[in-house]
Structure 1
Amino acid sequence: MARLLLIHHTPSPSMQAMLESVISGASTPEIEGVELVRRAALAVTASDVLEADGYLLGTPANLGYMSGALKHAFDTIYYPCLDSTTKRPYGLFVHGNNDTVGAVKGVETITTGLGWERTADHVTVLGEPGKQDLESCWELGATLAATLSP
């Protein structure tokens, strides 16, 4: 069974709503053969990343960058996973109050270094997530899961 690892930092109600939509999409019953594994960004290990076949990443945009928790996760896993996870698919969802550009750019820089392949459009939300934003999060989760489905 393929393993989809969801690495997230969800400190706000907006991020929590987005996370729940991503989880719902990634675990929809129509997609079979994919196990969704959830890890808080501060708890993820290199073993979690090495054992996964694809990744969903969720972060708030804090002070123009990804959260310190997600950056810590990348710092923890980067070198142990550098040569072993290339070409694996990933997707990203980001929430910001004013701007998400720096957070997206930071994640793209690191995932490019890891050799991960962006499989779906990033979901970026400013302010309170609306119905369309949450549907986009659902689609992100479902797209990544479908990518890994046999």
Structure 2
Amino acid sequence: MKQLLIVAHAPSPNTRRLVDAALKGAGHTDIEQVSVTWKPPLEAGPEDVLACDAILLGTTENLGYMSGALKDFFDRTYYAVIDDKQGLPCALYIRAGLDGTGTRRAVESIVTGLRWNWVQDPLVCKGEWQDAFADQVEELGMYMAAGLDSGIF
């Protein structure tokens, strides 16, 4: 059984909808060999990253940067996982009130340092809330889990 870890900040009902959508997609009935775990960034640690086979990151855009919670996650895990998790398949979604550029750049910088592998470009859900954001994140969760299930990554 492969392990997909979702580390996503969900401080509002809408961002919680995004987490639920990612879990729904990753838990699709056709995906049989993947176990999915969601941890809020302040609860996730190096042991979670070391135990996973892929990671899906989710954050809000806060003052043009990632959430403080996701930054804290990276601060606590970076050096503990850098040697053992190089090549870890990863993806990112951003709930951005503006354009998500600074948030994306910040997360990409850290992921580059960790030498994780992007499985697709970051998904930026920007502007006013749209129900389509949940559909997009659900597809992303399904894509991540299906990729693990089929051995693509």
TM-score under structure 1 normalisation?
0.95
Q: Taking every aligned residue pair, what percent have the same amino acid on both sides?
A: 37
For 1:36, what is the secondary structure of its paired residue? strand
Indicate the residue corresponding to 1:35 in structure 2: 35
Q: Which residue of 2 aligns with 1:124?
A: 124
Per the normalisation by structure 2, the TM-score is 0.93
Tell me, what secondary structure is at the counterpart of 2:141? helix
Deviation, structure 1 residue 106: 0.7
Structure 1 segments, 4+ long, off by >3 Å, are: none
CA separation of 1:24 and 1:129: change in aligned 2, threshold 3 A: farther
The root-mean-square deviation of aligned C-alpha atoms, in Å, is 1.2
123-132 vs 36-45, which deviates more? Answer: 123-132
Range with greater deviation from structure 2 (130-139 or 1-10): 130-139
Give CA deviations for 1:8-67 in whole Å, capped at 9, x if unaligned: 111022211211111111111111100001111001110110000000101000000000
Q: Within 2, Cα distance between the matches of 1:38 and 1:16?
A: 11
| Paired AA for residue 121 in structure 1 | D
SS in 1 for 2:56: strand
Letter in 2 for 1:139: E
Q: CA deviation at 1:104?
A: 0.8
Structure 2 residues not aligned, in runs of 5+? none
Q: 1:88 corresponds to which letter in structure 2?
A: L
How many residue pairs end up in the alignment?
150
Give the SS at the match of 2:102: helix
Q: Specify the alignment match of 1:100 in structure 2.
A: 100
